Amino acid sequence: MDPATATAAAAAMATLQLPPPPPPPNGAVLALLAALSNHSHDANANTHQLALKARDDALSSSPEGYGDLCSNFCRVLACPTPECIPQEELKKFHDGDVEVFGKCCGWMMMDRTANNNNDYEAKKRQGMMLWNTLRQMAGLLLKNALVSPPLPKNTPVDSLGRVLPGHTTRMELPPHYALEIKHGLLTCIADRESSVRNAASTAIARCCTSAVHLEKSMGAFGIKIWGELVPFILQCVVAGNNAAAVSVATSTTTTPEANEAATLLAESAAMGALVTLRKLLEDIPNRLVKEAPQASFHDLVPALLHGLSSSSEGRRKEALACLNSFIFPMPGSLVAHMNDYLAGLSALASDSNAEIRRLVCQGIVSLLSHRPEYLTPHVASVAEFMLRATADENPDVALEACEFWLTFASLDEDACGNEMMEMIAGLFPQLLPQLLRGMVYPRDKIEELMEANALDEVGGADRAQDVAPVFHKSRTKGGGDDDSDEEDSDDDDLDDDNEWTLRKCSAASLDALSGMFGAPNILPPLLPALQEGLGHSDQWVREASILALGAVADGCKDELAPHLPQLHPFLLQQLNSPESVPQLRCIAAWTLARYASWAVDQANNLPGGNGANGGDPSLVGQVAEALVNRMLDPHKKVQIATCSALGVFVEATGDLMAPYLEPVYRILMQALQKYGTRSRLVLFDTLGVMAEYVGAAIGEGPLPGMYVPPMLRLWNEIATENPFDRSLLPLMECLGSSTVVCGLNYQPWALESFEMAMSTIEACTIIIAHEDDLDDIDEDMTDPIVCAVDLIDGLVEGLGPNFAALVNGSARFGPTFQNVLQSVAEHFVSGVRMSAFALLGDLARLTPSLIEAGLPQLLSEAISSIDPVHPATCNNAVWAVGEVCVRCGENAGPLIPHAADLVASLIPLLMGNAVDMDGNELSLPGIAENAATTMGRLASVKAEFVAPELGRFLLGWCDGMSKIANPAERRDAFTGFVRAVRVNPHSIQNTGSEMGEVITSILFAVVSWHIPSSDIAPNLLSGPYRFVPFPAEFSELLSALRQLLLDLKTSSGEGWNQIEAQMPSNVKRLMHEVYGLS
């Protein structure tokens, strides 16, 4: 760089106040990097392995060694050219790796003359490319070393090489090294090389994120501690904004080349800062907003808004991405400049860069989702723009714009008023046909699908990339909500990959809009285009139209009912046509399943069809026959789609399938023998759905003999080869569901199923025990154990008390069953414990003799797992302990050693103050109900277990009891509550709340007995009287509640009048008529 250029660059960068540059790197570290990078040939493999060991040894040697190597990685990253390295360090580099040194630094040894200038420049370019690659690698190694600190060398391990408990403290970075590294990273985000800036920005973002969880070793990188980070980012952004002005100001004093260099440096700094800020906002937006220095943060939004008008596409893009990321945390500075932000979006709406147009749409969608009030005044123009953008020639822009309609349909009533609804509905004549066009596969995708279809027709085993990951569906017990583990899979098989596309988004938007606006608004503008598409000669247009027909099923089914007698045969014809492309047969199956409820109406002879009473009782059989016959289609896509459709169809039809089960299962077993891995996985899911929804009919007569033996044979074949095979998971889940439904009819295969499940647990446990590092064991590796435990639990539920005889009849596993139960209950993976506690609870309910010997240790493990960090495990542990309490009856002996710990564990769940490792409150659906039930069951055994601490959690217990849905569990909770209050009546005064508030909480918990289980009217408390009677079978509890409420009234004295005055009219009537409170 000549002096004039350097002067201009210095002027441009002066405002950045760069931290002092790090010292040059150590030559030995450069040689280490060279060895780590040079492993492409077998000859270098040994050198590479030695280099890995040298790196790991240095990082784990001591805090000083760890810090020294990390700082040297940072020095390499920050070193712009090897010319900055002293000769003695270059010699170490040369001596360590002559080959890489020559490629990287050989140009520095050349004599530059006029004759060899071109050769010199070429060598220099090649050398600098390799040098920058080493810098980028150093940044990656630095990031990995910082965010995953190593264990100290010679950390004690057991015989299998696993770290012993109490020795898991990771290496800590000494403060002076942390300071140097932070300064070095800030320097690097202003580097001229984009690869170096990206490496530095990633390291900064990951370090700041890791500081949240690794406060001891990474605390220096927290946003609050690293106070200069955000101010420096701001300086870089401002420098980029001012680059043009600097160029003009220095144009008369410096050369054009110098001005260009200065502008390039400012642009580089701005881009590095923007990329860093974007990554931080992606990872920790709320923490950044809360903890960054407010003075700098306040100026950051205006600086980003200024960047939207930059001549640089890259800066416009990154500035807009950062501003979009601010929408969710919504700092006050963005609120103050919201009009400027909206104006910026408008200005960029027609940008020539498609990615910027996509980000404009993303910002609008994000505002609509999180802060719709800012869009409401402009919704007409915004919606018009998004309509045009939905038809953008760039598919990424069109997809982002299409999200607008899907997001709008998810808004609650308060966010979208009548005026906004009417305005959006006014666009439907243009929007709905456009969504239909968006559902047609693009031409390049059609060509790809046709090639895949040809390969599929040839046949062959499934490739690994064709088989989607298999996840076990965990069992939760009691009042727990396991919806989070169950995702709606209706749309899983619409396409041949999991990519979110314009086609999928268009279909989802049409589905959501039809549910929001209803048929009167949807069908008139949609039907003409839909009818044209259904009759189109192009199969791909017809396929998209059938997809659209399925998409509106939920929102428009009743209004489409008059057309379905014609549409249904059309769909069956498309499903069965051998000339149609597989995708058309797939979508026909999916759409038939979407209208399964209409077929049910026909089978029930309800109006809406063309039978005697408008129904067609044979329709369920027709659809079932069409779907199962098509399951033998040679195309895997069709196999999967029809399997999935049959599952959805069975969910709707339930026991209406009973007359057709024998031919259906016959074909299902043919399919089982024919299918490859991917199709078989879906088939197992469908068989599980049939067990769950058809009910007892699948366990009657010869049916179990048709499907259980083939599945057991397949299980044995797969498990013998690989007990960790993921296809075993849905197979075991399916058998587990069948054992419950079949009940005692499953007995011919019960022993074989039990022993195969126990063998799976045994084999997987042995293999896992020999893993080198328990940290490498994840939920996936233990899923076979979880499924096997769940299958055993299904046997317990199906066989009931007879399960004990089954276990005792197993010569191989009967004697070890207790030990296996203990081992899974104390397993280090929470998912295994979750299933173990489900099994423990059912054993306590149905065959308690099997757990009596090990009950003390099992109870200890269950209570120690009442930890909200693992919600499902916590839920099952609470439920299991409650079932043990029920089994104890009035025998308090087994519970005495555990009662205090149990109460202490339940209190946070009842009071809603459970927190995660970061101190954030946890929302655990269903856990309060389970905790309330278990607390009541414990008090029913011995009220003195609960009574002393009752004041601490009485209000939470009342709230939890009011939410319990199961009558028997609610009875147990209230029974224990009454007993505890009787033992410690003073607890009502010791809650920390006013007496009136406490009594009101008790009253409304009691009122929950009388709330209807469905059709709860919004004016239930003060409108027409709709309370239901107290269950007659719980008359003893009713008497106890009456007496308790009468005693509370007496003890409250004059305060009762105020409590009664605040009661809604229906509650007052209920208290008078049922509980005698007048």
Q: How confident is the model at residue 237 (pLDDT cuts 50, 70, 90)?
A: very high
Question: What pLDDT score was predicted for residue 167?
Answer: 65
- pLDDT > 70? residue 61: yes
Q: Tell whether the model's pLDDT for residue 608 goes beyond 70.
A: no
Please, which pLDDT band fits residue 613 given cuts at 50, 70 and 90? very low
Would you state the pLDDT for residue 12? 45
Based on its alpha-carbon atoms, the radius of gyration of the chain, rounded to whole angstroms, reads: 34
| Mean pLDDT along residues 402-417 | 91
Query: Is a pLDDT exceeding 70 seen at residue 924?
Result: no
The dihedral through the CA atoms of 960, 966, 970, 973 has a sign that is: negative
Pair 734, 790: CB distance under 8 Å: no
Per-residue model confidence as pLDDT tens digits over 959-988: 999 999 999 999 999 999 999 999 999 999
pLDDT at position 992 is: 87
**Percent helix, strand, coil in the chain (nearest 5)?**
75, 0, 25
User: Higher pLDDT residue, 956 or 723?
Assistant: 956
- At residue 485 the predicted structure's pLDDT band, cuts being 50, 70 and 90, is very low
Cβ-count burial of 126 within 10 angstroms (0-12 exposed, 13-18 middle, 19+ buried)?
middle
Looking at residue 1077, its pLDDT comes to: 87
Higher pLDDT, 288 or 612: 288
Residue 658 burial class via C-beta count within 10 angstroms: exposed 0-12, middle 13-18, buried 19 and up: middle
pLDDT for 2: 45
Is the pLDDT assigned to residue 575 strictly greater than 60?
yes
Q: How would you label 539-572 residue by residue, b for 16+ Cβ within 10 Å and e otherwise?
A: bbbbbbbbbbbbbbbebbbeebbeebbebbebbb
Q: Is the pLDDT of residue 433 over 60?
A: yes
Section 276-302 average pLDDT: 91
Q: Which residues pair with 157 in a beta bridge?
A: 163
Cβ contacts of 346 within 8 Å, gap of 6 or more:
none
Q: Are 962 and 1008 in contact (CB under 8 A)?
A: yes
Please state the φ and ψ torsions of residue 915, each to the nearest 5 degrees.
-130, 160
For residue range 812-840, list pLDDT tens digits in order.
Answer: 999 999 999 999 999 988 999 999 999 99
Does position 161 have pLDDT exceeding 80, yes or no? no
pLDDT averaged over every residue in the chain: 88
pLDDT mean over 424-439:
97
Q: Is the pLDDT of residue 696 over 70?
A: yes
Residues written for the chain: 1078
Q: What is the mean pLDDT of residues 904-923?
A: 69
Provide the pLDDT for residue 1022. Answer: 74
Q: What does the pLDDT average to over 141-153?
A: 91
- Give the pLDDT score at 242: 85
Task: Look up residue 433 and give its two tokens.
Answer: 């046909």
Distance, in Å, from the CA atom of 583 to the CA atom of 576, rounded to the nearest integer, reads 12
pLDDT band at 418 (very low <50, low <70, confident <90, very high): confident
Output the CA torsion 525→526→531→534 (10° steps): 160
pLDDT at residue 107 greater than cutoff 80? yes
Lowest-pLDDT choice from 125-134, 206-215, 276-285: 206-215
- Using CA atoms, how far residue 159 sits from 163, 168, 193, 595, 775, in Å, is 10, 17, 48, 60, 16
Bigger pLDDT: 490 vs 875: 875
For residues 329 and 286, the answer to whether their CB atoms sit within 8 Å is yes
In the predicted model, is pLDDT for residue 389 greater than 90?
yes
User: In the predicted model, is pLDDT for residue 460 greater than 70?
Assistant: no
Q: Is the pLDDT of residue 434 over 50?
A: yes
CA separation for the pair 1039, 688 (Å, rounded): 44
Q: CA angle 645-649-651, nearest 5°? A: 120
Enter the tokens of residue 142.
Answer: 């630095």
The yes-or-no verdict on residue 468 having pLDDT over 50 is no
User: Each residue of 619-667: pLDDT tens digit?
Assistant: 999 999 999 999 999 999 999 999 999 999 999 999 999 999 999 999 9
- 990 or 524: which leads in pLDDT: 524
- Per-residue pLDDT of 252-271, as tens digits, reads 556 777 677 777 888 999 99
Pick 132 or 617 by higher pLDDT: 132
Percent of the chain with pLDDT over 70: 88
- What percent of the chain is modeled with pLDDT above 90? 69
